[in-house]
Chain A
Amino acid sequence: MTAPQSLLDVGTEYQYGFRDEIEYVYKAEKGLNRRVVEMISHFKNEPDWMREFRLRALEIFFKKPMPTWGNTKLLSEINFDDIYYYIKPAEKQGKTWEEVPETIKNTFEKLGIPEAERKFLAGVSAQYESEVVYHSIREDLERQGVIFLDMDSGLREYPDLVRRWFGKVVPPGDNKFAALNSAVWSGGSFIYVPPGVHVEIPLQAYFRINAENMGQFERTLIIADEGSRVHYIEGCTAPIYSTDSLHSAVVELVALKGAHIRYTTVQNWSKNVYNLVTKRAVAYEDATVEWVDGNLGSKLTMKYPSVYMVGKGARGDILSVAFAGPGQHQDAGAKMIHAAPYTTSTVISKSISKGGGRTTYRGLVQVDEGAVGVKCNVRCDALLLDEYSRSDTYPTMNVKEDDVRIEHEATVSKVGEEQLFYLMSRGLSEQEAVTMIINGFFEPFAKELPLEYAVELNRLIALEMEGSVG
C-alpha cells in the first residue's frame, strides 16, 4: 500500500531553522592544519600536555582513513577544508543571563533555555558555536561539591582530575572522528559528582550551531564517584543552510563503584548537519550507565553509545530512538562490552523511516573471556511509513564465554492496518490514528524523558503531523 499523504508530511517542518546575524569575536580560517590547532590551544591558554594531546590527535586524524562501512557516499561528501574549526562568539562566559550578548540570548530564549532552567533544572550550560556562553548551577549542588563546568573551565580549575580521565575512555586513536575532536575540541561539559551525592534533578546542556560551514567539536567528561547519581540532558539545534555543518563530539562517562549515570540526548540538528559522535561509558563494580538517545534531526548521524562494564555486577542500558525523514540517514545503535562477570545489559532500539529516509541499527554485544553469568537482551523495532524508505539492522554478538545468556530480536514492519482500522472505527481520522500509533511506538522513550522534554517530544511529533490534518 502507499502511505497516506499525512504520513509523507511527517518531519518536514523544522522550527529551529532560524539564524542570527552576529559579529564573532574570533573566527579561525577555514580548513584544518597544525596552525589552527595550535591557535585554539593558545587562545585557551592550555597546559602543554593538552596542546601535545591535540597535535598527536591531529596526526592520527590525518593518518586514519575514512570509515569504509556505513553511508560511505554521504561521508565522502564531507569537505574537511571547507569547515570553520573554531569560532568564538563572545568575549566571556555569562554567569547570569543578563551578561549573555543580546543576539545569542534571543536565540536561546527562542529555544526556551532559561525557562527550562527556571522550571526544572539543577544546572544549565549553553554552547554557541565553539564556546559555552552561559553557565549556571544551583547553589545547593555547588555546596555539596558537585562540579558542573564547561570543559575548558574544568581543565583550568581541575587540571589533575581532568588529566586523569580525559581521553582515557575514548582515546584519540579510537576512530577518525574521535581523533578530529581530540585535535580541535572546544566547549562541552565537565561534571564531577562526589561520593554518595545524588543529583536528583537533571543537569542540562544546550548546543547551538549558528554559523554556516561550522564544525562543532564539544567534549564532555562526566565522573560519578562511588555511590553517586547524576542525570545529564543535552539538546542540539542548528539553522538550515544550503551547505553542510559538522558536529563531532566526544563524550566520556566514568561511573565508579555503585554510581549511576543517566545521559539523555535529544538530537534535533537541522537536516544539513553531519552528526558523527563517539559516546562511551566505563561502568565499574555495581555501577549503572543509561544512555537515552533520541535522534530526530541531522543529515547523517553515526552514533553508537557504548558501555564498557569492567566491574562485577555493572549494568548498561541503552534506549535509542530514531526518526529519519527525507534525505536523512540515522545510523545509530549501541555497544555493550561485558568485560566482567555478572554484568547485565539491555538495548532497546526503535526507529521510524519515512519519505525516503533511512534508519540503521548497528550494534555490538561482546562477552569477554571470564565474564561469566552475563545477561544481555537486545530488541530492535523498525516502522516503515512508506515504500521509499529503508531500514537496516546490523547487530553483532561476539561471545567468548559459555555461561552467558544473549538474546537479540528485531522486527521491521509498517503501521499495522489492524491498529489503524481499530482506531478509525472509534472515530479518529487516519491522521490522528497514525499520530497516536507513532506516539505509542515512541512511548518507551518519552516515558524516560523528564516531563519538560516529553512534552516537547509530543509537541514535535504533533507539529510534524500538522498541516496534514483536514
Chain B
Amino acid sequence: MSNMLTTTSPAGLELIEAISRHLAEPEWASAHRKEAWSRFLQAPTPSRTHEHWRRTDISHLDLENITPRLPSEYRALPEWLEAVIRRGARRIGGTLAFVDGTLVHEHVTDSLRKKGVIFTSWSQAIQRHPDLVRRAIENVDYDPADEKFTAMARAYATGGTVLIVPRGTEVTLPLQTFFAASEAQAVFPHTLVILEEDSRVTLLDGMFSPDSSTRAFGSGVADLILGDGSELTYVLFQQWGQGMEYFHHQRAVLGRDSHLTTITVALGASLSKATIESVLCSSGAVSDMLGVVFGDDKQHFDHHTVQLHTVGNTTSDLLFKVALDEASYSAYSGLIRIEPGAQKANAYQRNENLVLSSTAHAETLPNLEIEANDVRCTHGATVAPVDIEQMFYLMSRGMAPRDAKRLIVEGFLQPVLDRIPAKSLREMVSAKVDEKIAHRRF
C-alpha cells in the first residue's frame, strides 16, 4: 500500500485503524481504507475555480477535521427512526437501518435468504463474502472531480449496505436501507450493489436525520454493478434534516443488455451535492435516470448527472424535475458523452425547472459531448413559473389559489414519482413529497 501515509496526521490514521480493528476487517479491506484515506489527504479541497464546483461553495468546511463516530457494539433504534420505518413502506423484502454508521435494525425475509440473496451490512459482508466484495471494490474508480469526498467516504465508511443478487434471481419485494444521522454527526453511507446475470431487484436508500438546524455532515458513495441482462431500480431518497450538508457520488456500471432505473428524490439538507453517473459500457445497456428536487427556505441543491456511452447500441434517458420555492437554489448540470466508435447510441436528457418564488434561483447546464456520428442525442431544458392558465382553470373550479398551486406542483413532480416501480416505495416517497408540498404556505 501507499507509503504516502507517513507524511500524514497520525490522529486520522489512528482513527482509520481503529475503525478497521473494530470491524475486525481483513488486511485487504483495511488496505483499501488506508488507500482511500491517503487519496483523501492528497486530493485538493475543491474550490469554485473548478468547473464541477463552481456553483457550490464549500470553503467553510474544514474537511480534514471532520471525523465519524466509531461504530458502537449496539445502539438502540431511536424512536424517531422507528417511527420512520413503521410509517414507511409495507410489503418489503428486507430492511437495514444505520444510525451514525452503526447497524441498529436488520430484517430480511426468509424467502430472500433461501434464494441466496445477500442483503447485509458492509462489515458482515466483508466477513462472510470477502471475495465478492473484494473484487468489487478493487475496481473502484475515483472520479477526480469528486475525489476529496468519495475518498473520504471510502476511508471513513462505517455503516453501509451490500446487496448481492445471484444469477437468475428475481427479488420481487423491494429492499430498503435507512441511513440516519444524529445531531451534529458526520456520516459516510456506503452502498454496494452487485447484480449477477439476469437478476432483478429494487433497492431504496433513504437518508434521514432529525430536523434540527445543528450542523451535520455526510459524504456517501453508491457503487452499482449490473451484470449482463440484469435489472436494477435504485431509489435515492434524501430527506436529511435542515442542518445537514451532504455530498453523494453514485456510479453505475452497466453490463450487456442490463437495465438500470435510478430515481433521485432530494427534499432535505441545507446543502446537497450529488453526482449520478451511468457508464454504458456493454452493448444493449439501458439507463433511465429520473430526479425530483423540491427546495424551499435557503436550500442549496447541486445535481450533476453523467450518461457515458463508451460503446454503441446503448440507450440512456433522463428526466430531472426541479421545483423551487422561497430562496432555494438548484443547479442541474448533466453530461451526455458519446465516445468515439459508440455508434447507434441513443441518448436523451431533459431538465425542467418550476420556479415558485422570485427569490428562488435555478441554473441548468445540459451538456453534450458527441464523438460518434450515427447517434441520436437530444436534450432540452426549461425554466418557467406556474402556468397562469392552469391556475385560472383550477381557480375557476372554486379552488383557493394556494391549493391550486399545490396541486400544480404535485402534478409537476408526480410523473417522475410514478416511475418508482414498487407500489409500497412509490406510495411512501410520494407521501413524503406531498407532505413537504402541503407544508408550504405558497
Contacts and interface: CB of A to CB of B under 8 A. Distances in A.
A387 B372 contact: yes
A391 B381 contact: no
A266 B424 CA distance: 60
A86 B343 CA distance: 48
Most buried by A among B340, B353, B374, B383: B383
A407 interface: yes
A405 B341 CA distance: 38
Interface in A370-418: 372, 382, 384-414
A389 B373 CA distance: 7
Nearest to A366: B363
Given A406-B382, A408-B380, A409-B379, A393 B367 contact: yes
Interface in B175-210: none
A413 B381 contact: no
A25 interface: no
Contacts, number: 120
A387 B341 CA distance: 7
A382 B378 CA distance: 10
Main secondary structure of the interface of B (DSSP, over half): strand
A49 interface: no
Nearest to B333: A396
Interface residues of A, number: 39
Contacts of B377: 411-413
A384 B382 contact: no
B367 A394 contact: yes
A402 B373 contact: no
B32 interface: no
B378 A399 contact: no
A412 B363 contact: no
Given A397-B364, A399-B363, A413 B376 contact: yes
Contacts of B166: none
A396 B362 CA distance: 10
Nearest to B51: A69
Contacts of B359: 369
Given A387-B373, A389-B373, A408 B355 contact: no
Contacts of A396: 363-365
Contact of B384 (A382, A390, A398, A406): A406
A414 B355 contact: no
Interface of B: 49, 51, 340-341, 343, 353, 355-385
Given A397-B383, A401-B358, A408 B366 contact: yes
A239 B410 CA distance: 61
Contact of A407 (B360, B365, B381): B381
A203 to B, nearest CB: 37
Contacts of B367: 392-395
A469 interface: no
A403 B341 contact: no
B375 to A, nearest CB: 7
B424 to A, nearest CB: 36
Interface of A: 1, 3, 68-69, 367, 369, 372, 382, 384-414
Contacts of B375: 384, 412-414
> Can you list the 3 inter-chain pairs with the closest CB atoms, starting with the nearest?
A384-B373, A393-B368, A406-B383
Contacts of B372: 384, 387
Contact of B370 (A68, A392, A404, A406): A392
Contact of A399 (B370, B373, B383): B383
Contacts of B362: 397-399
Contacts of A401: 355, 358
Contacts of A382: 368, 370
A362 B366 CA distance: 11
Given A3-B373, A394-B367, A412-B368, A369 B358 contact: yes
Nearest to B332: A397
B357 A392 contact: no
A357 to B, nearest CB: 12
A272 B418 CA distance: 54
A407 B384 CA distance: 9
22 contacts: A3-B373, A369-B359, A382-B370, A384-B372, A384-B373, A386-B373, A390-B369, A392-B368, A393-B379, A394-B365, A395-B367, A397-B362, A397-B381, A402-B357, A402-B358, A406-B382, A409-B378, A410-B366, A412-B377, A413-B375, A414-B374, A414-B375
Given A69-B51, A402-B356, A402-B358, A409 B368 contact: no
Nearest to B386: A402
Contacts of A395: 365-367, 381
Contacts of A404: 355, 383-385
A382 B369 CA distance: 11
Contact of B365 (A3, A385, A389, A397): A397
A210 B246 CA distance: 57
Given A69-B51, A403-B385, A410 B365 contact: no
Contacts of A391: 368-370
A154 to B, nearest CB: 38
Most buried by B among A393, A400, A402: A402
Contacts of B374: 1, 387, 414
B368 A410 contact: yes
A69 B361 CA distance: 25
B370 A390 contact: yes
Contacts of A407: 380-382
A385 B355 contact: no
Nearest to A397: B364
Given A404-B355, A409-B379, 12 more contacts: A384-B370, A387-B340, A387-B374, A389-B373, A395-B367, A395-B381, A396-B363, A401-B358, A402-B355, A402-B357, A406-B381, A412-B376
Given A391-B368, A395-B365, A398-B363, A385 B384 contact: no
